[in-house]
């Protein structure tokens, strides 16, 4: 670690909040009955949460000296990027917020969280 442990813990805490924000916002895309509510949830909560998680991930990688080319990081970035695309697709038009979109979005976000928690080495 390059900075003080307090800064590292702050980055981790903000990243956890950002991931919770992304998951909550993604749930909000599929639960409301109106498209306007789903758009607000997706565009104002889910997408900023994922972006904040990316920023915190970059800062944590810098602080720990972890390479951004580690396989678990690359896969987590790909999965979270796909999750953003699913959220944007589902809120762009009425009728796109079905079970398949929900399952894909949740699978990509849960997969991202699993990679961040377990950090597998291949």
In the chain, where the domains are located: 5-118
Q: What is the pTM of this model?
A: 0.90
Half-sphere exposure of residue 36, counting CA atoms within 13 Å on the CB side?
0
Q: What is the pLDDT of residue 24?
A: 97
pLDDT, tens digit, 9 for 90 and up, residues 15-48: 999 999 999 999 999 998 899 999 999 999 999 9
Is the model's pLDDT at 54 over the cut of 80? yes
Distance CA 49, CA 14 (A): 10
Distance CA 19, CA 98 (A): 23
Q: What is the pLDDT of residue 122?
A: 77
pLDDT, tens digit, 9 for 90 and up, residues 90-119: 999 999 999 999 999 999 999 999 999 999
Q: How confident is the model at residue 9 (pLDDT cuts 50, 70, 90)?
A: very high
The token pair at 82 is 């796909």
Buried b / exposed e along 48-73 (16+ C-beta atoms within 10 A): ebbebbbebbebbeebeeeeeeeebb
Residue 38 · residue 30 · CB < 8 Å: yes
pLDDT, tens digit, 9 for 90 and up, residues 57-89: 999 999 999 999 999 999 999 999 999 999 999
Q: How confident is the model at residue 3 (pLDDT cuts 50, 70, 90)?
A: low
């Amino acid at each position: 670690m390059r900075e003080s442990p307090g800064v590292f813990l702050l980055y981790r805490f903000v990243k956890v909040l950002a991931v919770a924000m992304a998951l909550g916002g993604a749930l909000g895309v599929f639960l409301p009955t109106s498209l306007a509510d789903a758009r607000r949830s997706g565009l104002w909560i889910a997408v900023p949460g994922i972006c904040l998680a990316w920023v915190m991930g970059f800062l944590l990688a810098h602080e720990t000296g972890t390479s951004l080319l580690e396989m678990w990081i690359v896969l987590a970035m790909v999965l979270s990027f796909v999750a953003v695309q699913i959220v944007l697709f589902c809120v762009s038009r009425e009728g796109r917020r079905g079970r398949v979109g929900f399952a894909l979005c949740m699978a990509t976000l849960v997969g991202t969280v699993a990679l961040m928690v377990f950090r597998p080495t291949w």
